[in-house]
């Protein structure tokens, strides 16, 4: 028995073929994408519980585990979606997130990457960058969780500091990888944070919790995976120091 916490048995799967295990994990990560179209195929509560049961092993500073998740399905999810869509359609300028996601003055190369995303994403949909109504219509699809059967609302205790947000990001990545390992896809959605006041009318979110984002979860429509966003090459973000070659 370990002196701290519980003794954890090594799963039998980890004693298998190293190459096969590596390739399976690599494949899930490489094929993950932000799905914006889901099939009507249902996802069971047990499957979601299993995903979260895996994700809970995320590391966190001092093991404080700063994440909270509200899992929506069925009519309850639909009620939340209807309220969000109404607010987005009729009064979206009245709502504001409690935190700022992007810097107002993005330096390079981040500004160019964001502009490239806009060109690729809206271009693939046939929406002009200047067509604000069409773009708002596309944004509205977020609040129906892009048709996914499961919607997650993720919060963090507002009394925590930036390091706990790092922990939360790792937790969310674990959720997405665990979902991918089960043939599911996800879409993390910061835009839900804008409607935190409205979400509190439907979910038991405590005052000390800040709504960070939502996440759609389900089986992606096949055509939705046609192309992935370009990613920077390793030599663009990593420096190797002290290696022979």
Task: Please state, rounded to an integer, the average pLDDT across all residues of the chain.
Answer: 91
More confident residue, 18 or 49: 49
20-43 burial, b if ≥16 CB within 10 A, otherwise e?
A: eeeeeeeebeeebbbbbbbeeeeb
Listed by start position, the domains of the chain span 33-98+142-226
Q: What is the pTM of this model?
A: 0.90
Q: Does 99 score more than 70 pLDDT? A: yes
Q: Does 48 score more than 60 pLDDT? A: yes
**What's the topology of domain 33-98+142-226?**
NADH Oxidase (3.40.109)
pLDDT of residue 229: 86
pLDDT of residue 228: 76
140-163 burial, b if ≥16 CB within 10 A, otherwise e?
A: eebbbbbebbbbbbbbbeeebeee
pLDDT of residue 10: 46
């Amino acid at each position: 028995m370990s002196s701290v916490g519980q003794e954890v048995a090594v799963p039998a799967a980890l004693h298998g073929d190293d190459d096969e295990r590596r390739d399976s994990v690599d494949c899930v990560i490489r094929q993950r994408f932000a799905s914006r179209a889901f099939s009507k195929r249902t996802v069971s509560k047990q499957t979601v519980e299993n995903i979260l049961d895996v994700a809970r092993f995320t590391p966190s500073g001092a093991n404080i585990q700063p994440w909270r998740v509200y899992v929506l399905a069925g009519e309850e999810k639909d009620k939340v979606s209807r309220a969000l869509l109404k607010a987005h359609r009729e009064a979206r300028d009245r709502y504001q997130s409690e935190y700022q996601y992007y810097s107002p003055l993005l330096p390079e190369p981040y500004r160019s990457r964001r502009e490239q995303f806009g060109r690729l994403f809206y271009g693939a949909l046939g929406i002009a960058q200047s067509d604000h109504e069409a773009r708002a219509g596309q944004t509205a699809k977020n609040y129906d969780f892009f048709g996914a059967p499961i919607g997650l609302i993720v919060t963090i205790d507002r009394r925590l500091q930036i390091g706990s947000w790092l922990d939360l990001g790792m937790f969310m990545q674990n959720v997405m990888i665990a979902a991918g390992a089960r043939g599911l896809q996800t879409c993390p959605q910061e835009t839900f944070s804008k409607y935190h006041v409205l979400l509190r009318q439907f979910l038991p979110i405590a005052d000390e919790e800040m709504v960070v984002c939502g996440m759609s979860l389900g089986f992606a429509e096949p055509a939705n995976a046609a192309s992935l966003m370009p990613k920077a090459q390793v030599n663009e973000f990593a420096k190797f120091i002290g290696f022979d070659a």
